[in-house]
Amino acid sequence: MFEAIDSVKARYKIDENKIVLRGFSMGGAGAWHIGLHYPDKWAAVEAGAGFTETKKYAKLGPLVGYQEALLRIYDAVDYAANAQMVPIVGYGGEIDPQWQARVNIQERLAAEHIEPPRMLFLIGPGTAHKWEPTSLAASNKFIDAVLAKPRKEPDHIHFVTHTTAYHQCYWISVESVEKQYQRAEVDADRWGEEMRVTTRNVSRIAIDGGKHVVIDGQSVELANFGVLMKTADGWRRAGKAGRYKKPGLQGPIDDAFRDAFLVVRPTGKPENKEAAQYINETLEQFRKEWAKYMRGDVRIKDDKAVTDDDIDRYHLVLFGDTQSNKWTKRIAPLLMRAWPGAPLVPVMIAPNPLNPNRYVVFNSGHTFHEEEFKGTNALLYPRFGDYAMISPALRTVVRGGVFDTEWRQLLRPMNVRP
């Protein structure tokens, strides 16, 4: 979506304050998702039908604990409160099962006692899975009225997220959270250079444009732009950044494939044949599924051919073990206490100790596969968290989970290059 907008902006003169996000059915799901996760990007959002949560829509049973938590990355209903920050039309046909998407949002807003000032819910009388003309006319009228007024950056922000993958709302950025995949919330007001901010489940926050803030009752000087961190003694200006989950580097494994990555193929002799077979099959599966469903070729190199420039430019996706892949041999000891005993296969994501602005991934492409790609897009949620130990004989996860905010659990203390 954002690449498409950048392409249009590069070729046409447009008013960036009048970009409207509209979609129906699968596009409606996209509009709910992108509109509520990025509420500061749009003049208005129109979401017709689609889905706003995964489990009921996809008819799923109970999931593994960390999979349940990871649904909070994508389920738009968990971001319903952000409807306060952008004008939204929510539509569903009266006899369309997908009208539940709109109902989910309405019910969540009601449960939180939130009444967005600029939200229009529409029902198409006697209508199945399509727009009803009178409802469409009402939606067009609502959006036209929004666009007729100047769009201004708000002085009041109420923003909700569950991950730093979605962190920005105008002049506020959630830079890290205390507990992963739990609700984080910011309520902020500004009067000129003075600001008042209250937070929930936020451990670092960036505030743009003020000189002084009272945050959670504590007075702090900002000097126009400041990143604040929460400590045992309260909020203070953040110092030199350490290793912590932050925007663009927070996992889970599938997050690495939202940006430029390089698959690194092993050329050495593996430690264990059974594990090596599983790893090679996983690499080939990823390559084929990416080509078929993502419509591109995986960027891939032998381990011996990887350069310093590659390390700077790409997330590294390393296949193999410490014997077969020279980069796994170099990087794994910086992250793991020990490489798991054969034939277990470690699958993991972490900041790359050779370039802490990029990820390193071990032995995994997307954690969902062809069966999910062929089904509804609601099935494209992470099957692993930040790490998993795979039994190649059983093709199952022996154990897995999510690292904490400071990437702790299996990871060693890490010395990173400047």
Cβ 365 vs Cβ 286: under 8 Å: yes
pTM: 0.94
What are the φ and ψ backbone dihedral angles of 320, each rounded to 5 degrees?
A: 120, -170
Average pLDDT, the chain: 94
pLDDT at 103 over 50: yes
Task: Give pLDDT tens digits for 22-64.
Answer: 999 999 999 999 999 999 999 999 999 999 999 999 999 999 9
Q: At what angle do helices 100-111 and 26-37 cross, to 10 degrees?
A: 30
**In 316-351, which positions are buried (b, 16+ CB within 10 angstroms) versus exposed (e)?**
bbbbbbbbbbbbbbebbebbbeebbeebbbbbbbbb
pLDDT at position 342: 83
pLDDT value for 414: 37
CA-nearest of 353, 350, 382 to 365 is 382
Using only C-alpha atoms, what is the Rg of the chain?
23
Half-sphere CA count of 21, side-chain side, radius 13 A: 28
Q: For the segment 295-345, what is each residue's pLDDT rounded down to a tens digit?
A: 999 999 999 999 999 999 999 999 999 999 999 999 999 999 889 888 999
Q: Is 261 helix (H, G, I), strand (E, B) or coil?
A: strand
Whole-number pLDDT of residue 223: 75
Helix (H, G, I), strand (E, B) or coil at 220: strand
Q: Which residues of 123-146 are buried (b: 16+ CB within 10 A; e: fewer)?
A: bbeebebebbeebbeebeebbeeb
Q: Which residue has the tokens 């739990």?
A: 182
| β-pairing verdict for 184-191 and 156-161 | antiparallel
Q: What percent of the chain has pLDDT over 70?
A: 97
Report pLDDT digits (tens) over 127-170: 999 999 999 999 999 999 999 999 999 999 999 999 999 999 99
Sequential DSSP letters for 132-147: -HHHHHHHHHHHHHHH
DSSP 8-state secondary structure symbol assigned to residue 407: -
Q: What confidence score (pLDDT) does residue 416 get?
A: 33
Pull the structure tokens for residue 249: 């580097």
Please say if the pLDDT value at position 406 is more than 60: yes
